[in-house]
Amino acid sequence: MSIKAKFELTTATLLALAGVFFLTTAAVRRPPALERVDFGARRTATAPAWDARVAPVADAAIKEFRIPITHDTVEIANGVRYVGWTFGGTVPGPVIRVREGDLVRIRLVNEAKGMPHSIDFHAARLPMDHAMKSIAPGDSLSFEFTATTPGAFMVHCGTAPLLMHIAQGMYLAIIVDPKDGWPGHVDKEFVLVQSEFYPRPSAADTSVREGDWDAMLAGTPTYVTFNGRADQYRAAPLQVDEGDKVRFFVVNAGPSRDSDFHIVGAIFDTVYPDGDPDHALHGLQTQMVPVGGGAVFETTFARGRSGEGHYAFVTHSFADATRGAVGVIEVGHPRLMAAGH
């Protein structure tokens, strides 16, 4: 073998080895292409309160979600049980979190008895014909969409009468993170879905309440809640640390009443109406979240300024705060517990 041939052979071997090394490391470093979540197997915790904390978005560019529809008894206020119609067994349903540009695959399964249901993703650009069609009990429906627009979006059942299907609990929040992430670091993130309940009055405290159609039509709820149960975050406050910057994804599922979101004792550094960073507003006290809409709110509980202590989050429409749309944020470990919390 000539020196030239030996040189070429060695070069070829090195190139081949380099290729193998590159492919191996690329395979190790590449994020998983597909994430599968079955909300039948992964139910949102509801005790001591519906878990408002939200995990970071997964890396996979394709995200599949199996969403079972069920009829389940839910607790809408302390000791008040209700015939909930649900996505994933809880009201609201589970939080879905994806990234701008992701392919989102949905498999909807109607496990409820005796009634058709459907799903309408406000984060999707899709004709109603297929993705939003009602499916009979026992049936399923698969569709996919690309998440084109960052934000905090409502998802709900679109089966008539919508007023009733939403009032019974058929909604959840989908967060679409901007392609390059949210501007600026935060320490904690929470989801808050505001909604109303219209239970029929009952003489027996222990009975499972049904919906009152006339009250739904009149828009006179008994309870207005964050994450499906009146006053639940007064008993079990959201916990943050002193100095934390906190992001809230607020979605208003209604079905009929706007939310005037406000945190007592705080000022919002930034609000993104509809949750798109292109909409940034700064230095706000209260921002309306319309029914069927969402917004992202950021505030800082800075040391020595708005530090340790209790802060209430409310809809500043106080008839509705009084009906249960109020919660507490506990910053640090305040020694003086506020009376009545």
**Stretch binding Cu ion (CB under 5 A), from 111-119, 182-190, 237-245, 309-317:** 111-119
By CB under 5 A, tell whether 117 contacts Cu ion.
yes
Task: Give φ, ψ of 272 to 5 degrees.
Answer: -110, 95
Q: How far is the CB of 89 from Cu ion (least distance, A)?
A: 14
Q: If DSSP codes are grouped into helix, strand and coil, which group holds residue 162? A: helix
Q: Is residue 157 within the footprint of Cu ion (CB under 5 A)?
A: yes
**Residue 71 within binding range of Cu ion, rule CB under 5 A:** no
Residues 225-284 that bind Cu ion (CB under 5 A): none
Which of these ranges, 48-56, 167-175, 190-198, 203-211, lies near Cu ion under the rule CB under 5 A?
Answer: 167-175
Q: Closest approach of Cβ 170 to Cu ion, in Å?
A: 5
Interface residue with Cu ion, options 90, 110, 159, 227 (CB under 5 A): 159
Element (H, E) at 260: strand 259-263
Pick 90 or 159: Cβ nearer Cu ion: 159
Taking CB under 5 A as the criterion, the residue among 124, 170, 175, 289 binding Cu ion is: 170
**Exposure string (b/e) for 100-131, b if CB count within 10 Å is 16 or more?**
bebbbbbbbbbebeeebbbbbbbbbeeeeeeb
Per CB under 5 A, the segment of 18-26, 89-97, 115-123, 279-287 that binds Cu ion is 115-123
Between 240 and 291, whose beta carbon lies closer to Cu ion?
291
Structure tokens at 16: 């081949």
Please tell me the distance from the alpha carbon of residue 191 to that of residue 194, in angstroms, as a whole number.
Answer: 10
Angle, CA of 311, 316 and 320, to the nearest 5°: 110
Nearer to Cu ion, 159 or 287 (CB): 159
How near is the Cβ of 161 to Cu ion at its closest, in Å? 10
Measured CA to CA, the distance from residue 45 to residue 56 in angstroms comes to: 17
CB closest to Cu ion, residue no: 157
State the burial class of residue 81 (Cβ atoms within 10 Å of its Cβ: 0-12, 13-18, 19+): middle
Q: Which of 156, 186, 170 is nearest to 294 (CA)?
A: 156
Q: Is 66 in the site for Cu ion (CB under 5 A)?
A: no
Ramachandran sector of residue 332 (left: φ over 0; alpha: ψ -120 to 50; beta: rest): left
Region binding Cu ion by CB under 5 A among candidate stretches 36-44, 49-57, 155-163, 171-179: 155-163
Q: Of 159 and 252, which has the nearer Cβ to Cu ion?
A: 159
Does 215 bind Cu ion (CB under 5 A)? Our answer is no
| Residue 265, token pair as written in the block | 């004792």
Contact status: 165 vs Cu ion (CB under 5 A):
yes
Interaction site with Cu ion (CB under 5 A): 117, 157, 159, 165, 170
